[in-house]
Amino acid sequence: MTTRERPTLEAVARRAGVSRATVSRVVNGSTTVAATIREAVNRAVEELGYVPNQAARSLVTRQTDSIALILPETANRVFSDDLFFPAIIRGVGSELEAADKQLVLMMAGSAAGYHRVERYAVAGHVDGVMFASIHGADPLPGLLARRGIPVICSGRPMLADPPVPYVDVDHAGGVAAALDLLITSGRRRIATIAGPQDMVAGLERLTGYHETLRRAGLPSLVAAGDFTRESGVTAMRALLAQDPDLDAVFAASDLMAHGALQALRDAGRRVPDDVAVIGFDDFEISRYSDPPLTTVRQPIAEAGRVMARQMLRLIAGDPDIDPAIILPTELITRASA
């Protein structure tokens, strides 16, 4: 064998003194081969530098060892966000790497992208599909699940037929903790900058805001945002125009809270003396805002890790998958409230 030749299954079999079929079973993870024979095959594999042919292995195992993470966003939206998406990708990626699986990152921010993702998954190029940042009643998770593809979502899907498992955070509990802090500190005109209402995170945080203020007998004041800093600036200016006497604002994301801080500073309002501000995320930048931001911490990277672990269990055929895992949130108190 020359140095240019790639070691074959037959060469491993000759070195180990076993049949080609036995080598194939060992390489593909079979547990029915005796330990001594398995050790001999693995030793031959290492000595020869044999690397399994992935395409051939897939024909045997019917698995690709690849798992897709679908982000229903444009590439510009994903790569201009250096906070949420990197955290979820880092969490998913670390868990899959530990399991020796390949992460396939795909974006579906257009109709063409949506259909490309569907074709790719249905063609069997991945063993399972994870979704993050779902908008509206997206039918794709349910469609893929009906085709027998393992599916799991980050965030409760608004529509999935059949239902698919998901990992989410305690939005309502986090909002209640934030508003309780404002109310107990004497704030009575508490506004909110709501997130997108075609996303479960935006919906549940707004619902939690209304329910908490209703229990406290306080009025609501809402401006819409889209989780970006720019929308926080615009929404905060609108809120000040609607109610110049407001004394607190809960923003449904840290970036919108940062925008609110800028708008309040531009309007000559002191934080927290005149207006208290609380966000939701606890991105690292919130420690260094002026003033440092009080916020609700959600475990984004951990949600990615849990989602990946659940996906690996689905692929393995585990019948006891939790249909919903809700991770706790935590109020982080700093100087803005």
Lowest mean pLDDT among 2-11, 18-27, 59-68, 316-325: 2-11
SS3 label, residue 112: helix
- Asked if residue 59 has pLDDT above 60, the reply is no
| Over residues 322-326, mean pLDDT | 95
pLDDT for 267-300, tens place per residue?
A: 999 999 999 999 999 999 999 999 999 999 999 9
Task: Note the pLDDT of residue 54.
Answer: 53
25 pLDDT band (50/70/90 cuts)? confident
- Asked if residue 1 has pLDDT above 70, the reply is no
Task: Note the pLDDT of residue 118.
Answer: 87
255 pLDDT band (50/70/90 cuts)? very high
Nearby residues of 158 by Cβ (< 8 Å), 6 or more positions away: 134, 136, 137, 138, 200
Q: How far is CA 309 from CA 66, 93, 122, 164, 171, in A?
A: 14, 11, 22, 15, 22
Task: Note the pLDDT of residue 160.
Answer: 66
Task: Note the pLDDT of residue 226.
Answer: 93
Instruction: Provide the mean pLDDT of the chain.
Output: 90
Question: Which superfamily does 66-169+301-327 belong to?
Answer: Response regulator (3.40.50.2300)
Question: Which superfamily does 171-297 belong to?
Answer: Response regulator (3.40.50.2300)
Q: Where do the domains of the chain lie? A: 9-52, 66-169+301-327, 171-297
Task: Note the pLDDT of residue 115.
Answer: 84
Task: Note the pLDDT of residue 5.
Answer: 64
Task: Note the pLDDT of residue 61.
Answer: 47
CATH of segment(s) 9-52: 1.10.260.40
159 pLDDT band (50/70/90 cuts)? confident
The fraction of the chain above a pLDDT of 70, given in percent, is 93
CA–CA distance, 218 with 243 (Å, rounded to integer): 14
Q: Pick the more confident residue, 238 or 75.
A: 238
Q: Please check whether the two domains, 9-52 and 171-297, share a CATH topology.
A: no
56 pLDDT band (50/70/90 cuts)? low
Task: Note the pLDDT of residue 63.
Answer: 73
| Global model pTM greater than 0.85 | no
Task: Note the pLDDT of residue 2.
Answer: 41
Task: Note the pLDDT of residue 209.
Answer: 98
Single-letter amino acid, residue 252: A
- Asked if residue 206 has pLDDT above 80, the reply is yes
Nearby residues of 122 by Cβ (< 8 Å), 6 or more positions away: 144, 147, 149
CA–CA distance, 286 with 293 (Å, rounded to integer): 5
